[in-house]
Amino acid sequence: TGGEAEGAGGAMGGSASLLPAEVLGELQQLLFFASSSAYKRFGELLPRQERDNVCSARVPKSQILALPELRANPFQHRICHVFSTSNNGDDSMSFEDFLDMLSVFSDAATADIKSHYAFRIFDFDDDGTLDRNDLEKLVNCLTGQGEESRLSDAEMEQLIDNILEESDIDKDGTINLSEFQHVVSRSPDFARYCGSGC
């Protein structure tokens, strides 16, 4: 009835009231399945004695890094750092942290969400901008740390100059989140690449 739809819309936001009840039910089942699957997976990362307390347990960073999705990712340590809510700096993850990470890397996440977290991952010093040092670390992660793949100092300087020329709209020598998202919005491959754990 109209009253029921209006009540649901009030609780869930204006646009939700336009969804039929059966669609809302399917969405809730899908969310439940996705979080149930993540819950099971998270539990498997815990020692046996902690598996009964999944909601309060934290998985150590070493276990998170062993996940197939992160094992070969050049940004694996930054990903753990960005998604961890640990107060002691060990980058361990709670179930909510783990669910957030899986959600951002899922195909369902929007390009804005993916680019927001990619920016945080690439911001190695966590100062809210990508400066020359961040960009150098980013390039080194992408090209590998081996001697044969390492750029010379001159090549690195030229590449960073080119990146800043393309991305630094306000010409302050750094890339902020909105500048980063502007560049990403022009790159159709970004969302596909970051869907697998940028």
Q: How far apart are CA 122 and CA 174, in angstroms?
A: 13
Q: How many domains does the chain have?
A: 2
Question: Which residue range(s) make up the domain with 34?
Answer: 28-109
Q: Model's pTM, two decimal places? A: 0.76
> Within this chain, do residues 63 and 121 fall inside the same structural domain, yes or no?
no
Q: Look at residues 53, 81, 109 and tell me which one is the last residue of a structural domain.
A: 109
Positive or negative, the CA dihedral 151, 142, 166, 119 is: negative
Where b means 16+ CB within 10 Å and e means fewer, 122-150 reads bbbeeeebbbeebbbbbbebeeeeeeeee
Average pLDDT score over residue span 138-148:
82
Q: How far apart are CA 177 and CA 182, in angstroms?
A: 9
Q: How many CB atoms lie within 10 A of CB 42?
A: 25
Confidence class for position 40, pLDDT limits 50, 70, 90: confident
Mean pLDDT of the chain: 82
Q: Look at residues 65, 90, 109 and tell me which one is the last residue of a structural domain.
A: 109
Report pLDDT for 7. 41
Q: Look at residues 49, 75, 109 and tell me which one is the last residue of a structural domain.
A: 109
pLDDT in tens, 58-77: 999 999 999 998 999 999 99
Comparing 185 with 176, which gets the higher pLDDT?
176
Report pLDDT for 60. 95
